[in-house]
Structure 1
Amino acid sequence: MQHQSVEENILTSCGYVALIGRPNVGKSSLLNRMLGQKISITAYRPQTTRHRILGIKTFINTQIIYIDTPGVQKKEYRTINNYLNKVANSTLGEADIILFLVEAHRFTQDDELILEILKDIQAPILLVLNKIDRITQKHDLLPCIEFFTKKHNFKEVIPISAQKGDNLPALERRVAELLPKRSFIYPEDQVTNCSERFLAAELIREKLTRHLGQELPYAITVSIESFEQDREICRIAAVIYVERLGQKAIVIGKQGLGLKQIGYESRVAMEKMLDSKVYLKLWVKVCEGWSDNKHLLHKLGYSNDPAYLSTII
């Protein structure tokens, strides 16, 4: 009688899939599309994603654990930029599959930096050409594919549009095929490792980034002071931290209208996420130099520990 290996007895596939790429290439948009719901915030600003966020999709006998990471940048202006690069790089060693996202017909120094990092990675790497909806003639993709495949021996090249949803089923099928045989790591109904407190803080930061990202790209962070939920309403109190007094005035806006609008948009988004009425109270405080201070970064919830996301803020 032949003895079957443990792997042969396992009927399910499961693994970690890292989304890596430069800032604003569409990693968070892809994650949200794949999950069919919003887990990771998005904005047209570099390094909007600041933490390692898991998005879990389970179907039939497959569980894909996507890891959204901060965008990798060659220039590290502050301690927070260095931290974000480290978060992204540390994820690669844990991944069973890597999706390297690039923008079709655009290659930058940050893309080159990531290619250098990927040279020593043993996991299969899929090149994902995003934003193909911006290319009118699809045959124009061929030179782009040829350009990238000369730079690295990718397992496969898959063109997509994360925003439009183009070719995402094909990408998901290929990822599922490459996953190792393994028992599910998370319960089948779990979609993220992030707590509701964390997601609430991220929603506030998203609204701030969209309204004020040009003026305050890295100067803002959010801390949830209290989060109380009952059957009728969820009461949330949050502090928006800036680095200088002048930035506080920008966030609050003339006659408080800026903060009022951010609070309104955040509350609406939270009510949709929590499926509950939300009472949201916001304050703005100055914490000088927090984005360039390791101690303050840790205190404000920036940690490399993956388990930290379920408890921080």
Structure 2
Amino acid sequence: MQYDSQFRTGYVAIVGRPNVGKSTLLNSLIRQKISITSRKAQTTRYRINGIFTDQHLQIIFVDTPGFQVRYKNRMNAAMNKVVTQSMQDVDVVLFVIEALRFDERDRLVLKLIPETAPVILVINKIDWLADKNRLLPFLDEMDKQFGYAAIIPVSAASQIQLTNLIDAIRPHLPENPPLFDADEITDRNVRFIAAELVREKLFRLIGDEIPYSTSVIVDQFTETEKLNTIYATILIDKPNQKAIIIGKGGEKLKLISSQARKEMETFFNKKVFLQIWIKVRSGWANDAHALKQLGHE
């Protein structure tokens, strides 16, 4: 790729309350799924960097967990810490909210944003609006609440106005050479991506509460030219959760494995053999050693 002589590179944090579409926005901006999504709030648990590069600039987007107060345990305290730390040393903050929705949870996140970086308000899910005429008064209302560097209405899922968002970010980035090669899309390794794709299926296929009590560890990841062989373990908090995840005749676990394997094959662009076990580890979300093993502390 031929780079611009005034090439710009910088870090951009994506923040907001749970379930406003931060991970979908990241995936759409870099045109590759690296951050898992579901309809359940608080699916994202880790800081994930996604890399966008063109001939003019390189943006390292920092996807963060949604800042929340619902689940009181050591893991969620660590996740909230990730949110606040991720905003400290970035060049721009994207503050994501839903169209026509702004409440106390959004105000709490806004108060956490440091004054050192410009803030771009990203109003997501505009494609959900039945009456588009309501959007302009909402934009005016938001403009009066804070000194935003820009306000950009988008649809992350439908990829509407994302080019305008990139254009709004560019002037705020310093002139620097790229930090990553043009074909790199994330700084996370393959084991992390594999574990996250399994965990996503738990959020999508299991009931409302159980996914919050689970995590995934990749025990073994072996690569050849044509095949990735992956052995993973689902950690659960209580013994009775095992039967729910396995399902009648093992059908639920088979579905989780099948869907995760297909997404892995798309991501890695090769065949994948995936074997999943389930292990009870009571209190793992409050266990410092377990959280360190899972990359939370």
The Cα of 1:146 is off from its aligned counterpart by: 2.5
Q: Secondary structure at the match of 2:160?
A: coil
How far apart are the structure 2 equivalents of 1:130 and 1:267? 30
Identity %: 41
| Matched ranges for 1:231-310 at <5 A | 231-303=225-297
Q: Which runs of 5+ in 1 are unaligned?
A: 1-8, 304-313
Give the one of 105, 112, 125 matched to 1:110.
105
How far apart are the structure 2 equivalents of 1:199 and 1:299? 16
So what's the TM-score if we normalise by structure 2?
Answer: 0.95
How far apart are the structure 2 equivalents of 1:105 and 1:232? 48
Are 2:252 and 1:226 aligned? no
Contact 1:74–1:109 under 8 Å retained in 2: no
How far apart are the structure 2 equivalents of 1:10 and 1:96? 20
Are 2:125 and 1:131 aligned? yes
Shift of the 115–143 alpha-carbon distance from structure 1 to 2, 3 Å rule, reads same
Name the aligned partner's letter for residue 106 of structure 2.
Answer: D
Alpha-carbon displacement from aligned partner over 1:50-107 (angstroms, at most 9, x marks no partner):
1110111110031011110000114452222111111111000111001000001112
Q: Higher mean Cα deviation, 37-46 or 292-301? A: 292-301
The Cα of 1:135 is off from its aligned counterpart by: 1.4
Alpha-carbon displacement from aligned partner over 1:249-277 (angstroms, at most 9, x marks no partner):
11111111111111111111111111111
Q: Secondary structure at the match of 2:212?
A: coil
How far apart are the structure 1 equivalents of 2:50 and 2:294? 23
The Cα of 1:177 is off from its aligned counterpart by: 2.5
Alpha-carbon displacement from aligned partner over 1:239-298 (angstroms, at most 9, x marks no partner):
000000001111111111111111111111111111111111110000001112223211
Name the aligned partner's letter for residue 93 of structure 1.
Answer: Q
Name the aligned partner's letter for residue 295 of structure 1.
Answer: H
Q: Secondary structure at the match of 2:6?
A: coil
Are 2:56 and 1:65 aligned? no
Q: Which runs of 5+ in 2 are unaligned?
A: none
Q: Higher mean Cα deviation, 281-290 or 227-236? A: 227-236
Alpha-carbon displacement from aligned partner over 1:215-246 (angstroms, at most 9, x marks no partner):
31310100000001112311110000000000
How far apart are the structure 1 equivalents of 2:167 and 2:160? 14
How far apart are the structure 1 equivalents of 2:110 and 2:71? 18
So what's the TM-score if we normalise by structure 1?
Answer: 0.90
How far apart are the structure 2 equivalents of 1:285 and 1:140? 50
Q: Show the counterpart of 2:191.
A: 197
